[in-house]
Amino acid sequence: MKPDTTAWWANECRAPFEALNREFGFSGPVQTNAANEYTVHYRKGNRTVNVVFVPGATPFVELFYPAEKIEHRRFVKGASSLGSEKTDEVSELEKLLRLRAHELLANERKFLNAENGA
């Protein structure tokens, strides 16, 4: 599937990751595109949750604290569990996003609940 709008990835992530806004007070989703990579950012103070998709690969979730710099990045536990699978199919992508959101909520509540600077 080839996305045809700049908001495509943000729209795909909105429902599966709505708990970030509703339960944890994150802002977003805000999408940025770089070459063939789509990233949606959710932010709360100096904490960032990114949901990343490269067409043909499995989406993954990365966390940043205290700054959105590579040296402060870590990946959500379980995010590589389907790393060998590739997908461009919308229905499969929806399933993977729900799985990634579940992994985030199951494994990173402390990160998500923390206040700024904590």
Query: How far is Cα 88 from Cα 2, in angstroms, rounded to an integer?
Result: 8
Residue (of 45, 70, 75) closest to 60 by Cα position: 75
> Is residue 105 packed enough to be buried (19+ CB in 10 Å), middle (13-18) or exposed (0-12)?
middle
Per residue in 21-46, pLDDT tens? Answer: 999 999 999 999 888 899 999 999 99
Helix (H, G, I), strand (E, B) or coil at 116: coil
- Chain-centroid distance, C-alpha 11: 12
Q: What is the pLDDT of residues 59-97, one digit of tens each?
A: 999 999 999 999 999 999 774 444 445 555 557 888 999
pTM of the model: 0.83
* pLDDT at res. 89: 55
Q: Mapping DSSP to helix (H, G, I), strand (E, B) and coil, where does residue 26 land? A: coil
Three-state secondary-structure class, residue 51 = strand
